[in-house]
Amino acid sequence: MVLLVQYTLIFASVLMLVALGGCFSEHSGVINIGLEGIMVMGALGGALMMKFIDPSAAPVLIFLATALASIVCGVLYSLLLAVAAINFKADQTLVGTAMNLLGTAAATVIVKAVNTAENPDNVSSSIQYIETKKAFITNIGSFEFNWFMAVALIALIASVIILYRTRFGLRLMACGEHPQAADSVGINVYKMRYAGVLISGLLGGLGGIVYITAGVSEWKFEHGVAGFGFLALAVMIFGQWKPQRIALTALLFGLFRALSNVYTGFDVLMALNLPSSVYNMLPYIISLLVLAFTSKKSRAPKAEGIPYDKGQR
């Protein structure tokens, strides 16, 4: 049971961070389908930092350096969406899809190049971080507390305050609901949309490094992040673009994902005699069912996905 709670919280943290990132982007009016690619690039930045940083350094330094590297890579990669969607008014869905395809491919090439530079015979797409990963973990009895769980909680609280209690958040949401009206009172819609997309890159990049370090000490980047970016989008939609609901939905989806890791420890689940692949599919099956029954009642920001043209009213 402890292991189930542990995995539920860590996977919920991943989904919460990434879904909150999508929430900021879509509240600004930009659909961010590219969260999967952003997660991969954030994971790449964090993994490379863990690979090259001195494992004997202070744990807090390793943690901060890894998180910062993930954030920087996620933000820089999200600039592709921001420039294409805001400056060039490109189709946001197509740009996001291209980012997802490019992310995994680029990360695989980069990792192979790094490994080959160190050892010409090593052409693998994996990075090990056995020692440095310990900096993220604190043992509380039999429970392994990952400090990224605390980061996810802080991000949730900050998101609620920023979106509903600050001028910036209210302006951001105004740009996603009625950008022409926001512009008419002096709000720079382009800047606010850039801010929303870059915040999604920040949180998505963090979500990427949390995901790959959740249960393993080595990651093959050719595997990407196993569709967690799309799962986070489902969490965001089911959570109605509201941080509190997103948090509860993330816990639900995190529970189903955790079952695939620990189902062998539950006699009831073992008695069902289902193959492990069924438990691996559960989160995605649940997401399809949830979206099928709730999508009609979903109320997305009115102007999301619509390029803003200052000359139109």
Helix (H) or strand (E) holding 145: strand 143-146
Place of tokens 């990952």: 146
What number is the average pLDDT over the span 271-282?
Answer: 73
Q: Mean pLDDT throughout 256-273?
A: 69
3-state secondary structure of 128: strand
User: What is the pLDDT at residue 169?
Assistant: 98
273: pLDDT strictly greater than 80: no
59-82 and 92-118 helices cross at what angle (nearest 10)?
140
pLDDT value at residue 263 = 65
In percent, how much of the chain has pLDDT > 70? 95
Q: What is the pLDDT of residues 102-140, one digit of tens each?
A: 999 999 999 999 999 999 998 999 999 998 998 999 998
Share the mean pLDDT of the chain: 92
Q: How far is CA 87 from CA 168, 183, 289, in A?
A: 21, 16, 36
Mean pLDDT (whole number) for 254-266: 77
Q: Which helix (H) or strand (E) holds 252?
A: helix 243-262
CB-based contacts of 304: which residues, under 8 Å, 6+ apart?
26, 29, 30, 31, 176
Give whole-number Cα distances, 89 to 121, 176, 310, in Å. Answer: 45, 15, 12
Strands 143-146, 218-220: pairing kind: unpaired
| Beta strand 126-128 pairing with 218-220 | antiparallel
Per the structure block, which two tokens stand in for 122? 């090593």
* Cα separation, 73 vs 138, whole angstroms: 26
Average pLDDT estimate for 264-275: 61
More confident residue, 296 or 244: 244
pLDDT at 166 over 60: yes
- Average pLDDT on 90-100 reads 96
Q: Looking at residue 163, what is its pLDDT?
A: 97
In the chain, % of residues over pLDDT 90: 77
Residue-wise pLDDT for 8-24, tens only, equals 999 999 999 999 999 99
Confidence (pLDDT) at 297? 76
Report the alpha-carbon distance of residue 228 to residue 174 in Å, rounded: 29
Per-residue pLDDT for 196 more than 90? yes
pLDDT tens digit string along 25-50? 999 999 999 999 999 999 999 999 99
When pLDDT is cut at 50, 70 and 90, the band that residue 269 belongs to is low
The residue count of the chain comes to: 313
For residue 268, pLDDT beyond 60: no
Specify the higher pLDDT residue, 290 or 267.
Answer: 290
Could you tell me the residue ranges of all domains in the chain?
8-234
pLDDT at 85: 96
pLDDT for 39 equals 98
- The dihedrals phi and psi of 312, each to the nearest 5 degrees, come to -100, 145
Q: What per-residue confidence (pLDDT) applies to 313?
A: 59
